[in-house]
Amino acid sequence: MHSRLIVTSMLSALFLSLTGCSDPCNGHIESKVLYFKQAPQGQLVYANVLNDPSLGSQQTLMRDDKEYGTFPHVIIINDPQMKFKGLGTVCFDEFTKQPLPTDIDLREKDIPRISITK
């Protein structure tokens, strides 16, 4: 029984390591991906910035007309090539601020939109 518990614990640890609690960070600004949304070109990455409080704004996000959660430093990353698809974190050094689209959901008007350049 004891060895069965050890094997179960080891399998659980292996599963957690394979599912990736976080991805390797390739930049000085680290953000945790909250969810993805299809865009006319590519996708939008809704993320919470973890280590740069000047980037992002506190937001209560809605998905499917239900409250998803409140996060302190939310940004929306424009990802036309979908290179961040499936990642748990997005890390970067350089970005440009993007203008708000004309058809924006008014609940998202205060969320900074960026494109990552490096």
| Residue 16: inside a domain | no
**Inside any domain, residue 67:** yes
How many domains, in total, are found in the chain?
1
- What pTM value is reported for the model? 0.77
Domain holding 72, by residue range, is 22-116
Look at residue 74 and tell me if it is in a domain. Answer: yes
Residue 88 lies inside a defined structural domain of this protein: yes
Q: Is residue 9 part of a domain?
A: no
In a domain, 111, yes or no: yes
Query: In this predicted structure, what is the pLDDT of residue 109?
Result: 86
Residue tagged 């600004």 (tokens): 29
pLDDT tens, position by position, 12-70: 343 333 334 455 677 799 999 999 999 989 999 999 999 998 999 999 998 888 999 99
If you average pLDDT over residues 109-117, what whole number do you get? 93
Q: How many CB atoms lie within 10 A of CB 54?
A: 6
Burial label for 42, CB within 10 Å (0-12, 13-18, 19+), is: middle
11 in a structural domain? no
> Is the Cβ–Cβ distance between 118 and 93 less than 8 Å?
yes
Higher pLDDT, 6 or 109: 109
